[in-house]
Homo-oligomer: A and B are copies of this chain.
Amino acid sequence: MIIVMKMNATETDVQRVADRIIELGLRTHLSQGEERTIIGVIGDNRPVNREMFERMEGVEKVMRVLPPFKLASRDFKPDDTVIPLNGTRIGDRQVVVMAGPCAVEDRVQMREVAHAVKEAGVKILRGGAFKPRTSPYSFQGLGRKGLEILAEVRDEFGLAIVTEVMAPEDVPLVAEYADILQVGARNMQNYALLHALGANGKPVLLKRGMMSTLQELLMSAEYILSHGNYQVMLCERGIRTFEPYTRNTFDINAIPALKGLTHLPVIADPSHGTGKWDLVAAVSKAAVAAGADGLIIEVHPHPSRALSDGAQSLKPETFARLMVELQAVAQAVGREL
C-alpha cells in the first residue's frame, strides 16, 4: 500500500499516518518527492482497510500494490487447477463443452436435449431448476421437480449435470443432484451462498456478475477457496455496457487476462455473452481461440417455444455443426475438444 500525501500536508500529518501504520503492526518507508511525500506500507496489509488512511488529515490518495486476492492467484499456485469430472479434466488440454437448455421445462424436453448434445460429443448437461428471473411474472423454474428430472436424465444418458443454486439453504439439496453447482451472475456477491458452497466442497461454476470487475470475480472465488474448496471454475458470461444491440458485451479480454492472473479454469458462456443465437457460433470459436478451457452453451429443441432464453438458444442441429467447427479451432490453438 502506498499513501500519497497532499501537496500541503504538514509534518504532523505525515507523522500521524506513520504512527497509525506502526500501530497496525506494519512498517513504513518514506519517500520525499518534489511535489508530494509518499509513504510506503511494508508488510502484508491485505486485511487493512485502505479507507482508514484516506480519511486522515493530509492524505491525498491510497493505492494498493498487492492484489487483494491470494489463494486464487498464480503467484500463490503457479500450476493450473484441473477438475476431473465424468471422464473429462476441466482446465487441462481438452476444451470442455457443457450444453443444454436454460430451464428444465419437462422430462420430454430434457431427454430430447440430452440425447442431442450427447450425440454431438458433450459430457456435461446444463439445465436450470431454480431460475432467477427479473420479473415475478416470468417462469421461475420447476425447483425440486426439475432436479429430479435432471437426475433421471443423468442416469439414462451418462451425462454429468451443472445447475444453478440460488440460496444457501438449497446447497445440500442441489448438491445431491448436481455434479457442478452454478452461481449465477446476479449472485456472484451473495456471500452467504459463497460460504455455503465453500463448505460443501463440490465443484462450483462461478459466473462473473454483469457489472463485476475481474478482481471482484477473483475475490468471490477467494471466498470459496478460503473454505478449502479449490474446485472452482470462473465463467465469463458478458458484462453490461452501453451497447444495446447485444444483451451483454462478451469480454473476450477476460479469458487471457484471467488465465494469467489465476490458476483456476476459465469457462465462456457465449449464449448470455451475446443474447442472440446467430452470434453464438462466432463467439464460441473466438473464446476457444482466446484460450478458454470450456464453453457453456444453451441448446433447446424448440427455441421459439422455450420458457426462457429462447433468443439465445441453439437448435440441436446448429449446435452439432458448431461442435465440428469448434474441433478445428481447438486444434488450431493446440488443444482438442
Contacts and interface: CB of A to CB of B under 8 A. Distances in A.
Interface of A: 2, 4, 7, 20, 29, 31-36, 38, 40, 42-44, 46-47, 49, 51-56, 63, 65-66, 68, 75, 132-140, 166-169, 186-187, 189-192, 209-211, 213-216, 219, 222-223, 226, 239-246, 249-257, 260, 273-274, 276-279, 281-283, 285-291, 303-313, 325, 328-329, 331-333
A308 B43 contact: no
Contacts of A140: 191
B52 A305 contact: yes
Given A253-B273, A289-B286, A134 B49 contact: no
Leading 7 A-B pairs by shortest Cβ distance: A211-B211, A256-B282, A289-B289, A286-B286, A51-B311, A332-B332, A328-B332
B219 A134 contact: yes
B245 A55 contact: no
23 contacts: A31-B31, A32-B42, A33-B42, A33-B43, A34-B43, A35-B66, A36-B65, A46-B135, A49-B307, A51-B308, A133-B191, A169-B169, A211-B242, A239-B242, A239-B249, A246-B257, A250-B251, A255-B286, A256-B281, A286-B286, A286-B290, A328-B332, A329-B333
Contacts of A333: 285, 325, 328-329
A65 B40 contact: no
Nearest to A287: B286
B253 A66 contact: no
A255 to B, nearest CB: 7
Looking at A51, A249, A311, the one whose CB has the most chain B CB atoms below 10 A away is A51
A295 to B, nearest CB: 13
Contacts of A52: 304-306, 310
Q: How many copies does the complex hold?
A: 4
Contacts of A285: 289-290, 332-333
A297 B216 CA distance: 25
A167 B168 contact: yes
Nearest to A261: B245
A7 B192 contact: no
A47 B138 contact: yes
A226 B168 contact: no
Contacts of A63: 2, 63
Contact of A277 (B43, B55, B68, B276): B55
Contacts of A167: 167-168, 192
